[in-house]
Chain A
Amino acid sequence: MLRFLIQRSLQNVLLLWLVSMIGFAVLYLAPGGPLTQFALVPGMSQEQLLKIAEQMGLNRPIHEQYFEWFTRLLSGDWGRSFRDGQPVLGIIGSHLWATLELMGTSASIAIFVGIWVGVLGAIKRYSLFDYLATVGAMVALSIPTFWFGLVTIYIFSVKLGILPAGNRYTIGDGSFLDHVHHLIAPSLVLGLVTVALWSRYMRSSMLDVINQDYIRTARAKGAPERQVLVRHAMRNALLPMITVAGLQLPTLLSGALVTETIFTWPGMGRLFLDSLSYRDYPVVMGILVLSAVLVLIGNLLADILYAVADPRIRLN
């Protein structure tokens, strides 16, 4: 197990470095480079621009700039927001929790539902349920999340009035119940894609497992079918799902951005868009890089979990 984890960690470090390079490349891809946002400020003269350029070290060779930027990143200095001058990392941090809360709630429910739909689909392969679940999953993956959110708001908030149309709290009421009330709609909207993906992957994994010899051995022992399915089949089928969970993170984050926009949820995604509209470059880049780092951390956690859960890796 140790060897596996060390290998994975090294790979992730390499990826982290590559991610930082890509982030830096995006920084410079914008025509005009990082000066763009300054150039757009009215009344900016050419010499002021040059002075800023020198201050930012933009006249130095590119690898030096990258190195400096990277070291600053590692030390926690992610720059300061153009809007209020606050440290970028701090601003992001204050919004991060809301996003994690949304993602966490949504993923928990969606994964649970998705797994059982997938298992049922695998057991009753080619039945009506399976067919509907498969088609339903494909359609669910094709629905634009923001559209689904709008439709949900229209039905449940505008027409039926039973769910709030946005925000995390009702002003004046900060109770837990109110909080949960506000979480329902965004979690479900965000979770649609997760349910669809997990049901398909789980079905596929179960089908692989159910035809294995050891399932037949379990039946031959006289184990009741439910025990065979849960203790033997699902136990094995869930292992690859851990890896799937890690691979789903970027999609989940993207979905979170859109969901936060529709439901005016005060998370990282909303912050990203707000900063974008203000051309607050440091915050935008900060979130971009942080999201990739979160994905890497998530994948590393998934790797660790997998190593622990699979005895073939845990012990030798």
Chain B
Amino acid sequence: MSHAAIQADVAASGEPVLQRNRAIDRFMRHKLAVAGMAMIAFLLMVCFIGPLLLPFDDLFIDIKHRFAPPFVSVHVLGTDPLGRDHLARLMMAGRISLSIGFAAMLMAVVLGTVVGAVAGYYGGVIGAVLMRLVDAMLCFPSIFLILAIAAFIHPGVVSITIIIALTSWMEVARVVEGQMKSLRERDFAVAAELMGGTDRYIIFRELLPNAVGPIVVAATLNVANAILMESYISFLGYGIQPPTPSWGNMLNNAQQYLERAPWLAIFPGLAITIAVTSFNFIGDGLRDALDPRLDH
């Protein structure tokens, strides 16, 4: 007998626990994922509510106190070359960066799901062509593609969001296509077909709801990627343009003052890292929680 067979023999008998409760239970045991959720909640609160609580407006220019280092004065995280409060700017930038991340994810998920669902459900030539299109898109390094498009349009929050979405839907499409292909063969799908359900009905009401798990995982990782991409192109100067702050363009401005005021670069980068890490942890935790494997 193989190892696996022996251990399966020895496996404790399962109690009848609801599938969903088990998944939540597994997620909670994933301490990092829980920490990730807490961190994201914290970041969201700080960025969206924080500015209302701070005494300093992020636009308040105070030349007398420029380049104040962090932790020493009332400006908790220091000030920038124009004397603006760094923490306030970080919060406002956070609003932009996080919103773009979420919005881009939503668009990418919608686009990817549609493409993936059509490709997976119909299969055949349509499916093959669509998936090859996905493969071809994936051949382009994402930054090159985003920059090539972004440089030739007028950059704004909306346009940047759209461009990021246009270059990150492929992973979602792959996931959905894979799910559709396997779910399509299952009994309940065949039954729905026999009952005379239309294609649209079967796809949206029967199959997709069962694929929600992997889609959510892909979506979470998509947000992480989107936040990172926005920071990259804003840093390079082709994303969010000043005076609108984003973590990425704050880093761009901080470059020249690296020696003199390193905190201007450290904190935005830290913010990005924390946000992206948290989403990655959550995505990982979700993946483990939704994966019905037994061996742990």
**What residues of chain A have their CB less than 8 Å away from a CB belonging to chain B?**
11, 14-15, 18-19, 21-22, 26, 29-31, 36, 135, 138-139, 141-148, 150-151, 153-154, 158, 211, 213, 216, 250-251, 253-254, 257-258, 261, 272-273, 276, 279, 284-285, 287-288, 291-292, 295-296
Contact indicator A151/B269 (Cβ below 8 Å): yes
CB-contact partner of A29 in B3, B138, B149, B231, under 8 A: B149
Overall SS of chain A's interface: helix
Q: Which 4 residue pairs are nearest across A and B when measured between Cβ atoms?
A: A147-B269, A30-B152, A18-B136, A142-B276
Contacts of B3 in A (CB 8 A): 211, 213, 216
B226 contacts the other chain (CB 8 A): no
Measured between beta carbons, the chain B residues less than 8 angstroms from A295 are 139-141
Does B151 have its Cβ within 8 Å of any Cβ on chain A? Answer: yes
Q: Does B258 contact A (CB under 8 A)?
A: yes
Output the nearest chain B residue to A268 by Cβ-Cβ distance: B144
Contact partner, A254, options B32, B143, B255, B259, Cβ 8 Å: B143
Q: Give the distance in Å from the alpha carbon of A204 to the alpha carbon of B116 in the complex.
A: 26
Q: How many A-B residue pairs lie within 8 Å, measured between CB atoms?
A: 137
Query: What are 19 A-B pairs at a CB distance below 8 A?
Result: A22-B140, A26-B145, A31-B153, A36-B152, A138-B280, A138-B281, A142-B224, A142-B272, A150-B251, A150-B254, A154-B259, A250-B139, A250-B141, A253-B144, A254-B143, A272-B147, A273-B236, A279-B152, A288-B144
The complex places the Cα of A15 from the Cα of B138 at a distance, in Å, of: 10
B266 within 8 A of A: yes
How large, as a class, is the contact surface on chain B? 35 or more
Cα distance, A142 to B233, chains bound together (Å): 16
Dominant SS at the B interface? helix
Closest Cβ of chain B: how far from A174's Cβ, in Å? 27
Tell me, in angstroms, the Cα distance from A256 to B39 when the chains sit together: 30
The answer to whether residues A146 and B141 also contact, given A15-B135, A30-B152, A138-B277 and a CB cut-off of 8 A, is no
Which residues of A lie under 8 Å from residue B153 when comparing CB positions? 30-31
How close is B293's CB to chain A, nearest CB, in angstroms?
Answer: 12
Report the minimum CB–CB distance from A306 to chain B (whole Å): 17
**A11 contacts which chain B residues (CB < 8 A)?**
132
Closest to A289 in B: B140
Given contacts A22-B136, A144-B269, A151-B266, contact A211 B144 (CB under 8 A): no
Interface pair B148/A288, CB less than 8 Å apart? yes
Whether the Cβ atoms of A18 and B273 lie closer than 8 Å is no
In the complex, which residues of chain B have a beta carbon less than 8 angstroms from the beta carbon of A141?
280
Q: Is A147 in contact with B273, judged by CB distance below 8 angstroms?
A: yes
**Cβ A257 vs Cβ B143 within 8 A:** yes
A146 to B2, Cβ gap below 8 A? no
Tell whether, in the assembled complex, residue A292 and residue B140 are in contact, meaning their CB atoms are under 8 Å apart.
yes
Q: A142 contacts B144, CB within 8 Å?
A: no
For B32, the chain A residues whose CB sits under 8 A away are 135, 138
Proximity bits, B1-41, A CB within 8 Å = 1, else 0: 01110000000000000000000000000001000000000
When chains A and B are docked, how far (Å) is the Cα of A151 from the Cα of B276? 18
Q: Is B82 an interface residue (CB 8 A)?
A: no
Q: What residue of chain A has the Cβ atom nearest to residue B275's Cβ?
A: A142
Residue of A15, A153, A284 near B139 (CB, 8 A) is A15
CB of B235, distance to nearest CB on chain A (Å): 5
Chain B 128-142 interface 0/1 with A at a Cβ cutoff of 8 Å (1 = within): 000011011111111
In the docked arrangement, what's the CA distance between A73 and B34, Å?
Answer: 51
- In the bound complex, do residue A142 and residue B140 qualify as a contact, i.e. CB atoms below 8 Å apart? no
**Chain A residue with minimal CB distance to B147?**
A276
Residue pair A139, B273 in contact (C-beta under 8 Å): yes
Question: A18 touching B132 by the CB < 8 A rule?
Answer: yes
Interface status of B206 (Cβ within 8 A of chain A): no
Pair A146/B251 contact, Cβ less than 8 Å: yes
